[in-house]
Amino acid sequence: MTFYSGIYLEREQVVVRAAEPDDATLISTYFSDNREYLKPWEPTREADFFTPFGWQKKLVKLHELHKLGLGYYLLIIDARDQSMLGTISFSNLTRYPLYACTVGYSLAQTAQGRGIMRQALLMACQYMFEVQNMHRIQAAYMPKNARSENVLKALGFVQEGLAKDYLLIDGHWQDHVLVSLVNSNWKMNQTL
């Protein structure tokens, strides 16, 4: 199977792949099914966010960001039944001289506590380091989000600070712990 992005990672029973234009129904179903569970951790969403039509429009924009190397929207898929378990997005990609990006993610309520996000995020970060040549991946989590904190710590993300009123989440400004993971094997790409 060929994917327009070239991103297809698989380990054990988890697949991490780029979202495709025909994933609109799959993605809208995932967010609809997890709407209440994810609500305390995400920005307030417009009604279109939960519809295939809304995702069709969004996927066109995400595809353009991918083609330009400015962002990657990945799906976490169960390799056994092809159900969608979560998302990982890399945004704000900056190349020379920073070589950094920001990662965000979500995981279905039914997939919690099974090590899925840890495994998927590890594969995705390795891809960003080894293929996209990022030196630094930044993340932020709300102090009360122990699951997110544990995943990031397990992957080696290091705390760098606390940002007051950092993001508008569920209609309220929320403080976030700022963390990063640095690629200790980074090398200057010779194509500069």
**CATH code at 64?**
3.40.630.30
- Please provide the distance, in angstroms rounded to a whole number, between the alpha carbons at the two ends of the chain: 32
In a domain, 189, yes or no: no
Q: What is the DSSP string of 74-107?
A: EEEEETTT--EEEEEEEEEEE-TTT-EEEEEEEE
Nearest in space to 134 (alpha carbons), one of 168, 90, 68 = 90
- Domain hosting 118: range is 8-182
Burial 135-146 (b: 16+ CB within 10 A, else e): bbbbbbbbeebe
Model confidence at 3, pLDDT cuts 50, 70, 90, reads very low
For residue 192, the model assigns a pLDDT of 46
- pTM beyond cutoff 0.85: yes
In a domain, 98, yes or no: yes
Residue 9 pLDDT > 90: no
What distance in Å separates the CA atoms of residue 100 and residue 182, rounded to the nearest whole number? 9
In a domain, 191, yes or no: no
In a domain, 13, yes or no: yes
Task: Phi first, then psi: give them for residue 39, nearest 5 degrees.
Answer: -50, -45
In a domain, 188, yes or no: no
Strand partners, 61: none
Averaged pLDDT of the chain: 93
Q: What is the DSSP string of 146-186?
A: HHHHHHHHHTT-EEEEEEEEEEEETTEEEEEEEEEEE-TT-
In a domain, 106, yes or no: yes
In a domain, 27, yes or no: yes
Record the tokens describing residue 158, joined without a space. Answer: 């290091």
In a domain, 147, yes or no: yes
Q: How many domains does the chain have?
A: 1
DSSP label of 46? P
pLDDT digits (tens, 9 = 90+) for 37-70: 999 999 999 999 999 999 999 999 998 998 888 9
Residue with tokens 């979202």: 19
Residue 189 pLDDT > 50: yes
